[in-house]
Chains A and B, each alone.
Chain A
Amino acid sequence: MSSIGTGYDLAAATFSPDGRIFQVEYAQKAVDNSGTIIALRGKDAVVTAVDKVVASKLLIQNANPRVGNANEYIGVTAAGVYPDCRSLLDYVQGEALKYLQEFREPIPIKKLANNLAEYVHIFTLGISRPFGASVFLTAYDAQRGPIVYVVEPSGLAYEYKAWSVGKHRQAAKTEIEKLKLEDMDQDQLIKEAARILLTVRDESKEKNLRIEMGLVGAATGGKHISIPAEQVLEAERWAKEKLEEDDLED
């Protein structure tokens, strides 16, 4: 089976002879080529971490953030084509606000994830091009605990215990599976997230990278925040020390 669609890949309205929709697969490739993003669900918190490329030294700190909020309680971390990510962030913010106005309570994350999935899916039907973005939705609920949903360019959405997308997603996934996430608290998650991103980085090929992180959990009162730069740098320092220790051991 060929992995390029020659002729059948011009519109999302076209199936290939073996039943694939290449435009959607190409949108997925846009995400696969973007900076690595991981989400880790622990005992009572969820941490997301993004390995961003800083395009220019002239940009202010944390310009073009990839971690945002749909509302106070639901975090949005997005990978892929940045303008598409912004568009989806606007969408979830709008949906959360509409729900709040209608029902007078914050939107449940499951509902928001499904709304987003349906919205993203409509763009795979052929009227328009698919979104080249994968979105992580994260929340902490007193009853259900920490929750992670990921919505892909095809409109597929699942709830995850942890997940990774982007350039080094395979290597990141291997690292994630080595951890016992259910027992980890917030601080451990933040440190491990930094360590995983630093481990899977390809130092020779990628320069000017910066880690951005999001956090929601019992300790934040169920509210999602973008982790302050100093805390992220501290986690990176810890991670670098740990990696050097491990190198020495080998």
Chain B
Amino acid sequence: MSRGSSAGFDRHITIFSPEGRVYQVEYAFKAVNSTNLTAIGVKGTDSAVIVVQKRLPDRLVVSESVTSLYQLTPTIGCAMVGIIPDSKFQVRRAQLEAANWKYENGYNMSCELLSRRMADLNQFYTQNAEMRSLGTTMLLLSYDAEEGAQIFRVDPAGYYRGMRGVSVGVKQQSANSFLEKKFKKKTAYNTEETVELGLECLQTALGSDLKATEVEVLLVSKDDPTVRKLSLDEIDARLNAIAERD
């Protein structure tokens, strides 16, 4: 690969390289894969689900203190993939932004607006030298009264989009191919089917079956717009349903 002539700092701080790339932001994307986890988000007719791998870093760690799922408001949840302390930082900021919006404007911040705000903050880091970009990608989910089920993806570059199906992390290529194939055939899924789609996608991408303790699931639906985590029994029920189908 030919290197354009540069003063040499284009790889060190968030400035342009001669080819017009911002290397530091590209490196931030690599950091998202550093924990070797994958998250899948899928939207059904009336529900949105995020499925993310759960891995204990060590057997001496207390399991309840390890999670990638966070609640931003009573009706907006998120999964974070990437550097964990950066994730917690972003979650706190998102919670603050949403709470501040409610206080200033008197109504709940929508998922789309919150995603846009977090994306704009990420863009800020890409244009300033003092602070680095955060090595995390956010998947937000919500059930919006007007727009229905929502999933948004916000990445370190400051890019955000609403997604019907999305995957983030080390196995995102194979997971995305799986989702594309499924959505080509059918886009209407009920709540149980949506959860199963997410779990099946993760299993396929990882190449092995999952146990309920190795995965976390976040769900929101028209019947229950409060974001909640599925219990181990509920996850088991869906995993068994998938196994029985095959």
Contact = CB atoms under 8 A, between A and B. Distances in A.
Given A10-B12, A126-B132, A163 B60 contact: yes
A13 B27 contact: no
A20 B31 contact: yes
Given A13-B132, A17-B11, A159 B64 contact: yes
A18 B27 contact: yes
Given A14-B12, A20-B34, A158 B61 contact: yes
A121 B85 CA distance: 6
Interface of A: 7-8, 10-21, 114, 117-118, 120-122, 124-127, 149, 154-163, 173, 176-177
B85 A154 contact: yes
Contact of B135 (A15, A117, A149, A156): A15
Contacts of B131: 13, 125-127
Contacts of A14: 12-13, 24, 132
Given A19-B34, A126-B130, A154-B84, 15 more contacts: A10-B12, A13-B129, A14-B24, A16-B27, A19-B27, A19-B28, A19-B30, A21-B132, A121-B89, A124-B85, A149-B65, A155-B88, A156-B85, A159-B65, A176-B60
B152 interface: no
26 contacts: A8-B12, A12-B132, A13-B129, A13-B132, A15-B24, A15-B135, A16-B27, A18-B30, A19-B29, A19-B31, A20-B34, A118-B88, A126-B130, A127-B131, A154-B84, A156-B84, A156-B85, A158-B65, A158-B66, A159-B61, A159-B65, A160-B60, A161-B60, A161-B62, A176-B60, A177-B59
Contacts, number: 97
Contacts of A18: 27, 30
A122 B132 CA distance: 11
A121 B86 contact: yes
B85 A159 contact: no
Contacts of B57: 158
A8 B11 CA distance: 8
B132 A7 contact: no
Given A8-B11, A118-B92, A15 B30 contact: yes
B53 interface: no
Nearest to A14: B12
Contacts of B84: 154, 156
Is chain A's binding surface mostly helix, strand, loop or mixed? loop
Nearest to B86: A121
Interface string B82-112: 0111101100100000000000000000000
Most chain B CB neighbours (cut-off 10 Å) among A16, A18, A19? A19
Contacts of A124: 85
B27 A158 contact: no
Most chain B CB neighbours (cut-off 10 Å) among A8, A15, A17, A121? A15
Given A117-B88, A121-B85, A156-B84, A15 B60 contact: no
A175 to B, nearest CB: 12
Given A15-B132, A125-B131, A118 B62 contact: no
Given A8-B12, A13-B13, A13-B131, A19 B61 contact: no
A161 B62 CA distance: 6
